[in-house]
Amino acid sequence: MKYVSILIIAIFLSACGATLTVDYDSEKDFSEYTSYEFYDDIDSGLNQLDDKRIMAAIDKSFDDRDFLKTDYCRFYVNFYASEYLSESRNTLGIGVGGGGGNVGVGVSGGIPIGGNIVNQRLTIDIIDASEGQSLAWQVIIEGEVKEKATPEQKEAYYFAEINKALLKFPPKQK
């Protein structure tokens, strides 16, 4: 019974995280990718504060794994996002009913709680810095952020999800 409850909790927690989709050029030799820089003209579609949070999260993830940030880099990092707002799926149900003699009547409704949710699709591109500047690796992070999230909550979200995504870079060579 103990293992069943641990399994249920693990499934619940994994369902709460963002989903990651990774794609890459299998012809590239990623062992050469040791230094990076951000594109000069990143147009992410987000505000400047979120851009800074994302850049800080990418820097931290790469720094933890000894990638060097330099002007003479082996790859560029670009990112962009799309967002849409949806209503909270959490509701408080209220119902009233009554009846008698094999007849019943009921009325119920749901009151949304928790505020709106921002559904975000964040794409991070790794672009080869050689002359052709071709896309070498890409991850798409699809997740949810509360509409009225605090700066600390947004920062924690970006650091956790970006770190998890960039752990898949570079891909394991076959």
pLDDT (tens digit per residue) in 46-61: 899 999 999 999 999 9
How many Å apart are CA 78 and CA 64, to the nearest integer? 19
pLDDT (tens digit per residue) in 108-166: 666 666 667 788 999 999 999 987 889 999 999 999 888 888 999 999 999 999 999 99
| Residue for token pair 């009846």 | 99
Neighbours of 171 (CB within 10 A): 15
Closest CA to 68 of 32, 23, 24: 32
Dmax over Cα atoms in the chain, in whole Å? 83
Contact in structure between 30 and 173 (CB atoms under 8 Å): yes
How many Å apart are CA 57 and CA 75, to the nearest integer? 17
Contact in structure between 139 and 123 (CB atoms under 8 Å): yes
Instruction: State residue 115's pLDDT score.
Output: 66
Instruction: State residue 11's pLDDT score.
Output: 43
pLDDT (tens digit per residue) in 62-87: 999 999 999 899 999 999 999 887 66
Instruction: State residue 39's pLDDT score.
Output: 87
Does the pTM surpass 0.85? The reply is no
pLDDT over 90 for what percent of the chain?
46
